[in-house]
Chains A and B, each alone.
Chain A
Amino acid sequence: MPTLDVKNLVLWYRTRKGPVHAVDSISFALEPGQTIALVGESGSGKTSTANAILRLLPKNVLRYDGEVEFDGQNVMELTDEEFRRNVRWRGISMVFQGAMNALNPAVRVGFQVAEPLMVHYDVDRDEAADQALDVLRKVGLPADIARRYPHELSGGMKQRVVIAMSLILKPKVVILDEPTSALDVMTQTNIINLLKDLKNTDRLSYIFITHDLGLASELADLVGIMYAGELIEVGPADGVFVRPKHPYTGKLLASVPRLRSEEAPDFIPGAPPDLTAPPPGCRFHLRCPVSFEKCGWSAEEFIAQMDLLQSSGEAKDKVPSIASMSAKSPTSLLIKPGANGSVSDFVQKLNAFVAATSEKNRFLKSIESVQGKTKSVEVKLYETTPPPIVGTEWRAACWLVTEGAA
């Protein structure tokens, strides 16, 4: 039985610009002692996923549902008070991003580590102090550290204190949110080695949140790749790092400059989408190198891409001249040909342009039909739905990935 089984977890925020789809139907399961690395660019929903699991929600939550099974119990059904008492920190704890800078400067670190014991288990001070010393020793700190204040410690030592705090109640799952992001390379390595060691000796399960694929591979048994609030690929590290299924995972891996390979890193054109209005179809289709008709261009995106093509110097003379474009429905648009072009002429030119350049300008693949009207041309686009995430052990959400395919 998995220690943690997350099913269709959703977390949307309410903002002035509209709902932010921070976490959109995420599912994954963790066996005891297993670590999943959640990897993605900033704003892809990694931290929101962690907050949703630990029920640490801001006030502007619009939608929060799904199932989180911890030790066989759906903890989403608990009241806030039950959740706080029995799950948060006792079952699932977290090392927050930048937590080492949030230690209380006026309280000795030993007390800060021991505090959850006294709050949660009503343990007396001496017993709590003993246990705190044990945990501090476990994370590789000398005993006299307990009497010191945070400002007396180096960054690496403070990070070890924060890890000790997350372990004090002996949780089964620890969420690590960028646990080494502010540390130097050597200190980072020491912390990762500590986490590796704890994972092996205590059979801890980690949810390791990072944007660094190299670091992810230091701890991950499973890898989950997040993009625009969705988990687009999840599977065993041995597979995902070597033969990624989703084109985004492939591009992300190719964007990592490697120390032990001469292969030049490549970048992903464009930027992640606005989560208040995620693109229809596959959320990655605008940046995808292998997108095709099913991937979900809307008429508005088509118009924006066409505009961009027209204004970019290189393709100017090749694009058929356009006077104006307007979206008629999400999947159809009207184009008025430029000044001295007849409708039939334009249809011919557009078809030739599509045939010649659709490999490069992939949005052109979304054209289902081009029809000449009296004064304008109607372009119909393929209708589509978002690609479902398919597979069992190793899942990916892409129309090009079929169930069971290697």
Chain B
Amino acid sequence: MTTALAEMPTEIGPEQHSSNIVETDNLTKWFDVGLGLFRGSLHLKAVDGVTLTIKRAETVAIVGESGSGKTTLGRTIIRLLEPTGGKLLYDGQDITHSAEKRLMWLRRKAQMIPQDPYSSVNPAFPVYRILEEPLVIHKQGESKEREEAVMKALQAVKLNPPTFFANKYPHMLSGGQRQRVAIARSLILNPEFILADEPVSMLDASVRISILRLLRQIQQQFGIAFLYITHDLATAKHFADRIGIMYAGRLVEEGPVGSVLGEPLHPYAQALMGAIPDPDPANRLVVRQSLPGEPPNLVDLPTGCHFHPRCPIAQMGLCDVKDPELRELRPGHRVACHLAT
């Protein structure tokens, strides 16, 4: 629990600069699921003890299937949700349980790019107003300065010429262009950290890559750290520096992209990689390895390693009893498996 003292500096906003923009220590987020009157409630353990560090100006991809807790992790990290337990540091400041009112500075520094470019912008606002809105809310600058910022943001997302796009309404734009507007909006307050939750999953393949490239350029140009949440291992490979693989609320493997995807050590990570086909005509001649069963119910998780009921190498008496810790088995590459070496 945080003390009043620990919360003090967050009111002003941190001036110190930690090299880690986000640190989580055993972060958990449980939701209460009611069973009905008089019958109490159960916990749905969406995030169940995640320890993760995101450095300044790097992209960390969190990959997992639906229900693995990746979206909840992202939303908890930018404090759209309050953690149930563990510790959450932003730029060295403990914000685990900071009151909503004291987080206005975080709402400037940490931004979000939503999944759906069709429903995330106000259809009644022209692009100019969509982009100006955050500046008005956070009382940044005079109208002249705000105009400059809007034009700069439109240029940064390559909506050229900016004056042309500023007057458009969302319905006049294509999906890719709308997503660029959403990205411009996330940039307008000069953030240090952006949560991108499936930012391209609604877009067509040919547009997808241009948006991911743009995010990469923006990151390099402005030194922004990204948490890229996706179910797509292949885009994570090409657009992230580090990758974390989640299964049933836990991080099972995490490390530099080359190391994790070059040599996945967790049986789940191996299975996930094996399940994704690259275009290759030889694929039709072979049967692809897959896992039996389904991911577990988050209300009633397996004991020990959450993956053990589906694991091809699980050892009873060990894996079903003891929680595996993340162990560093390769430089910077951690794996939560008792049997990985």
Contact = CB atoms under 8 A, between A and B. Distances in A.
A231 interface: no
Interface stretch (B199-207, B221-229, B317-325): B199-207
A347 interface: no
A238 B278 contact: no
Contacts of A313: 160
A376 B289 CA distance: 68
A259 B288 CA distance: 15
Interface string A197-226: 100000000000001111111111100000
A196 interface: yes
Interface of A: 35, 41-42, 154, 156, 184-190, 192-193, 196-197, 211-221, 237-238, 241-242, 251-253, 255-261, 264-269, 271-272, 311-313
A91 B176 CA distance: 40
Interface string B250-286: 0000000000010000000001110111111101100
Interface in B55-95: 65-66
Contacts of B278: 214, 217, 256, 258-261
Nearest to B161: A311
Interface string B197-238: 000000011111110010000000000000000011111011
B174 interface: yes
Q: Which of B160, B164, B289: most chain A CB closer than 10 A?
A: B160
B287 interface: yes
B173 to A, nearest CB: 11
A257 B276 CA distance: 11
Contacts of B281: 217, 220, 237-238, 241-242
Contact of A189 (B174, B210, B275): B275
Contact of B279 (A214, A269, A272): A214
Contact of B233 (A197, A218, A259): A259
A42 B204 contact: yes
Nearest to B177: A271
Nearest to B237: A259
Interface in B130-183: 160-161, 164, 174, 176
A312 B160 CA distance: 7
Interface of B: 65-66, 160-161, 164, 174, 176, 204-210, 213, 231-235, 237-238, 261, 271-273, 275-281, 283-284, 287-291, 294-295
A265 B273 contact: no
Contacts of A272: 204
Given A217-B277, A237-B281, 16 more contacts: A42-B204, A186-B272, A188-B275, A190-B290, A211-B204, A212-B205, A218-B283, A241-B281, A252-B206, A255-B208, A259-B237, A259-B261, A261-B278, A267-B208, A311-B161, A311-B164
B288 A193 contact: yes
Q: Which of B176, B232, B281: most chain A CB closer than 10 A?
A: B281
Contacts of B209: 255, 257, 265-267
A190 B274 CA distance: 12
A286 B232 CA distance: 30
Contacts of B280: 214, 217, 241
A190 B275 CA distance: 9
B176 A237 contact: no
B279 A268 contact: no
Nearest to B68: A184
Given A184-B231, A189-B275, A217 B284 contact: yes
Given A213-B279, A214-B276, A217-B281, A186 B65 contact: yes
B206 A259 contact: no
B204 A41 contact: yes
Given A242-B281, A259-B261, A261-B278, A193 B205 contact: no
29 contacts: A41-B204, A42-B204, A184-B295, A185-B275, A186-B65, A186-B290, A187-B294, A211-B205, A212-B205, A213-B279, A215-B277, A217-B278, A217-B280, A218-B277, A218-B288, A237-B281, A238-B281, A242-B281, A251-B206, A252-B206, A255-B206, A255-B208, A257-B235, A258-B234, A259-B233, A268-B206, A269-B210, A271-B174, A271-B176
A267 B206 CA distance: 5
A202 to B, nearest CB: 16
A258 B205 CA distance: 13
Contacts of A187: 294
Contacts of B279: 213-214, 216-217, 241, 253, 256, 258
Nearest to A313: B160
A213 B283 CA distance: 11
A256 B284 contact: no
A187 B281 CA distance: 21
A188 B232 CA distance: 13
Contacts of A260: 278
A256 B290 CA distance: 22
A186 B284 contact: no
A101 B261 CA distance: 34
A227 to B, nearest CB: 10
Nearest to A190: B290
Contacts of A216: 279
A185 B272 contact: yes
A196 B290 contact: no
Given A260-B278, A265-B209, A267-B206, A218 B294 contact: no
Contact of B205 (A190, A221, A255): A255
Q: Which of B174, B176, B205, B210: most chain A CB closer than 10 A?
A: B205
Contact of B294 (A154, A264, A266): A154
A256 B205 contact: yes
Contacts of B289: 189
A218 B276 CA distance: 10
Contact of B290 (A41, A189, A264): A189
Nearest to A240: B281
Given A192-B288, A218-B288, A259 B273 contact: yes
Given A189-B288, A218-B288, A252-B206, A257 B277 contact: no
Contacts of A255: 205-206, 208-209
Nearest to A268: B206
B238 A264 contact: yes
Nearest to B295: A184
Q: Which of A189, A211, A269, A311: most chain B CB closer than 10 A?
A: A189
Given A196-B287, A271-B174, A184 B65 contact: yes
A260 B237 CA distance: 10
A271 B275 contact: no
Q: Which of A193, A213, A259, A260: most chain B CB closer than 10 A?
A: A259
